[in-house]
């Protein structure tokens, strides 16, 4: 299957994508993770992306589309993909449709995780990540056993520059517009599934699974 997770920052895309891709045997592709890895590795792509990311802006389409198309052309993407954080613009969605159409595996479903914006602000500003293993913690919802330290490898947790409060507001404002545009794009293609993203993560996973199963049964 080829699936897309859509939702505003903090809607839980990353957490759900990890769980779902493992249980469905899909390759989890997060363009945000790819940009952060490239920035950490100090590649040219990484430094171009970093300027935009630290301002809470989108990385330009020509950079993002090129990187994503290269990734989905790798053999391990043949098992099916779960996209998290891509597409974020209509040209990205169109480029993806063309590439997947050419290989005969179009998008099966777009899962739109919906969370009220007041909840998103609280969720985002309390998020801390392990730079070593990528585990995501939250000061209220899922704190580490020892404050500021990863449970798995004892690495010092970091707060992403774009999760700091002033940047979060800019990010939500910027993201709202394109998220709605993409929701309409996939609604017109009859691929959009609205998922209630409130409540405990296991309940959200169950609702996502039910939607995916309904698509796979229909296909």
Residues of this chain that interact with ligand AMP (CB under 6 A) are 9, 31-32, 35, 52-53, 56-59, 64, 85-88, 92, 162
Lateral strand order in the sheet of 81-84: 27-30, 81-84, 2-6, 109-114, 192-196
Buried b (16+ CB within 10 A) or exposed e, 152-171: eeeeebeebebbeeebbeeb
Q: How far is the CB of 21 from ligand AMP (least distance, A)?
A: 15
H or E element in which residue 210 lies:
helix 201-218
* Active-site hit among 13, 36, 123, 207: 13
Identity of the residue, 159 or 214, whose beta carbon is nearer to ligand AMP in the bound complex: 159
CB of 98 to ligand AMP, least distance (A): 16
Q: Which is nearer to ligand AMP, 85 or 197 (CB)?
A: 85
Our CB check for ligand AMP shows the closer of 128 and 145 to be: 128
Torsion of CA 39, 44, 45, 51, to 10 degrees: 60
Residue 36 falls in the annotated catalytic set:
no
Minimum distance from residue 215 beta carbon to ligand AMP (Å): 23
Is 160 tagged catalytic? yes
Task: Select 15 or 132, whichever has its Cβ closest to ligand AMP.
Answer: 15
The minimum distance between CB 162 and ligand AMP, in angstroms, equals 5
Q: What angle do CA 69, 39, 19 make, to 5 degrees?
A: 60
Least distance to ligand AMP from the beta carbon of 164, Å?
13
Between 9 and 144, whose beta carbon lies closer to ligand AMP?
Answer: 9
What tokens does 121 get? 């602000």
Cα 219 to Cα 205: distance, rounded to the nearest angstrom: 21
Is residue 171 part of the annotated active site? The answer reads: yes
Q: Which residue is nearest to ligand AMP (CB)?
A: 32
4: closest CA among 137, 185, 173?
185
Catalytic residue of the set 36, 123, 171, 207: 171
- Please identify which of the residues 18, 71, 145, 160 carries the catalytic annotation: 160
Asked if the peptide bond before residue 87 counts as cis, ω within 30 degrees of 0, the response is yes
Catalytically active residues, by annotation: 13, 88, 127, 160, 171
């Amino acid at each position: 299957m080829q699936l897309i997770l859509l939702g505003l920052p903090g809607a839980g895309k990353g957490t759900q994508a990890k769980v779902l891709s493992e249980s469905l045997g899909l390759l989890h592709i997060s363009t945000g993770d790819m940009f952060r890895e490239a920035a950490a590795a100090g590649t040219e792509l990484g430094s171009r992306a970093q300027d935009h990311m630290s301002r809470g802006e989108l990385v330009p389409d020509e950079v993002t589309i090129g990187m994503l198309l290269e990734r989905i052309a790798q053999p391990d993407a043949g098992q099916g993909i779960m996209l998290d954080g891509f597409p974020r613009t209509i040209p990205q969605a169109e480029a993806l449709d063309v590439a997947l159409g050419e290989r005969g595996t179009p998008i099966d479903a777009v899962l739109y995780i919906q969370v009220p914006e007041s909840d998103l602000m609280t969720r985002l500003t309390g998020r801390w990540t392990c730079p070593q293993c990528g585990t995501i913690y939250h000061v209220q919802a899922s704190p580490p056993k020892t404050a500021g330290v990863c449970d798995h490898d004892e690495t010092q947790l970091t707060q992403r520059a774009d999760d700091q409060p002033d940047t979060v507001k800019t990010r939500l404002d910027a993201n709202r517009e394109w998220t709605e545009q993409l929701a309409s794009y996939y609604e017109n293609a009859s691929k959009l599934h609205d998922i209630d993203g409130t409540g405990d993560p296991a309940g959200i996973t169950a609702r996502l699974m039910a939607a995916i199963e309904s698509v796979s049964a229909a296909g």
